[in-house]
Amino acid sequence: MNIYKQIVAEIQAASNIVITAHKSADGDSIGSSLGLLHFIEKLGKKVIVCHPDKAPDFLYWLDTSMILLMEENPEVVTEKMQKADLIFCLDYNATNRVGPEMQLLLEEATCTKVMIDHHLNPEEFPTITVSETTASSTSQLIVDLIEQSGHLELLDEKIGTPLYLGILTDTGSFRFNSVKPRTHEVLAKILAAGVEHHLIHEKLSDNNTESRLRLQGYAMSEKLEVLYEYNVAIISLSKEELAKYNYKKGDTDSLANLVLSIKGMRAAIVFTERDGIMKISFRSKGAENPVNILAKEHFNGGGHANASGGMSDLTIDETLEKLKGLVPQYFQKIKS
């Protein structure tokens, strides 16, 4: 029995199935969760999604009403996870990625746990692990689950739409080097199932608020610092600056990619002051410019070679100076 058929067998045998994903929801965590939810429902089983926190506003066009949030309904989420006999761990590779409250519930749970993820260095907490670090996204792996378990006929628009979204967002609209021939094969199957991809692009791209655009404009015009010796750029935004532009979760998500669109730019680092800490996003281009090591060694983070996250408990000025001091250690000077 292949591992995907084994997972479906676990689904068929379970009575209380819970799908979890990482804190600070993004397109792939939401997309893979909803895609798997609808697939399990097509198998005739009841399932609930429990996430640590809310999705960014730009994803609200999806029907997220079936997602229970730890930050809003801790008692209900606790009950669901304690009663679960099968827990899916999607788009994360370590228990601390779900936040301290859900981490405790996850680690205390004695039921079968299934990890489906594409990040490096997975922990060994699950019963069943699907860790494909060459996959573009966890959403792509959910399509693999559906197909390789022998249930491709169940793939429809309802299942495929969030999965397409997850692949789209986690590949930077198919621009990252994580996109492989298999990615496009999966996308073809999703489109064949009736997913209207142009509408997904429109809902993502044409969903800006005025305050989000003004914040991004301010960040680019007033806060962008380019270290031209290395072609690395840094943007820092304080809590006061975020408040001035009515910041909502997700408003700064595209800033790093916007910076990377500058000709010759090799890496972009964006950090924002939230919840008393500096939350840092690292993005880069090319195998010769990895950022995950920098994130792991100095900012309690990690992730993909060209897309990672981290955090700092220093002040905003101290964090900026620390980053600027580290750039020469991790990036080669530009040859004149």
Q: Provide the number of structural domains found in the chain.
A: 2
Residue type, 32: S
One domain, residues 192 and 260: no
3-state SS class at 265: coil
Which of 165, 183, 205 is the last residue before a domain boundary? Answer: 205
* Predicted local distance difference test score (pLDDT) of residue 206: 83
| 336 falls within a domain | no
| Within-domain flag for 132 | yes
Helix, strand counts (H, E) of the chain: 13, 12
* In-domain check, residue 300: yes
**Following DSSP, what letter does each residue of 299-320 receive, concatenated?**
SS-EE-SSEEEEEE-S-HHHHH
The answer, yes or no, to whether residue 233 has pLDDT greater than 70, is yes
Please name the helix (run of DSSP H) or strand (run of DSSP E) that holds residue 51, with its range, or none. Answer: strand 47-51
179: number of CA atoms within 13 Å, CB side? 13
User: Does 191 share its domain with 235?
Assistant: no
Q: Which residues pair with 202 in a beta bridge?
A: none
Mean pLDDT over each residue of the chain, to the nearest integer: 94
Q: Are residues 192 and 215 in the same domain?
A: no
pLDDT value at 336 more than 70: no
Residue 112 inside a domain? The answer is yes
Sign of CA dihedral 319, 321, 323, 326: negative
Q: Are residues 223 and 190 in the same domain?
A: no
Q: Are 200 and 194 in contact (CB under 8 A)?
A: no
Q: Are residues 158 and 261 in the same domain?
A: no
Burial tier of 95 (Cβ tally within 10 Å: 0-12, 13-18, 19+): buried
Query: Looking at 172, 205, 238, which one is the last position of a domain?
Result: 205
Question: From the CB of residue 48, how many other CB atoms can be counted at a distance below 10 Å?
Answer: 18
- Domain end call among 205, 233, 259: 205
Tell me what pLDDT residue 175 has: 84
Report if residue 270 sits inside a domain.
yes
Q: How far apart are CA 189 and CA 195, in angstroms?
A: 9
Say if residue 246 is in the same domain as residue 285: yes
How much helix, strand and coil, in percent to the nearest 5, is found in the chain?
A: 45, 20, 35
With a pLDDT cut of 70, the percent of the chain lying above it is: 99
* pLDDT value for 212: 93
Percent of the chain with pLDDT over 90: 84
pTM of the full predicted structure? 0.86
Count of other CB atoms within 10 angstroms of residue 281? 23
Average pLDDT over residues 225-252: 95
Name the most confidently modeled range: 57-66, 75-84, 170-179, 272-281. Answer: 75-84
Alpha-carbon separation of residue 62 from 34, 35, 160, 161, 317 (angstroms): 9, 11, 12, 9, 38
Distance CA 72, CA 54 (A): 9
Rounded-to-integer distance, Cα 106 and Cα 217, Å: 40
168 and 254 housed in the same domain = no
User: Quick check: is 244 in a domain?
Assistant: yes
Tokens standing for 191? 């489109």
User: Is 196:204 a contact under the CB 8 Å cutoff?
Assistant: no
> Which domain covers residue 158, as residue numbers?
3-205
The answer to the question of residue 274 being in a domain is: yes
What is the CATH number for 82?
3.90.1640.10
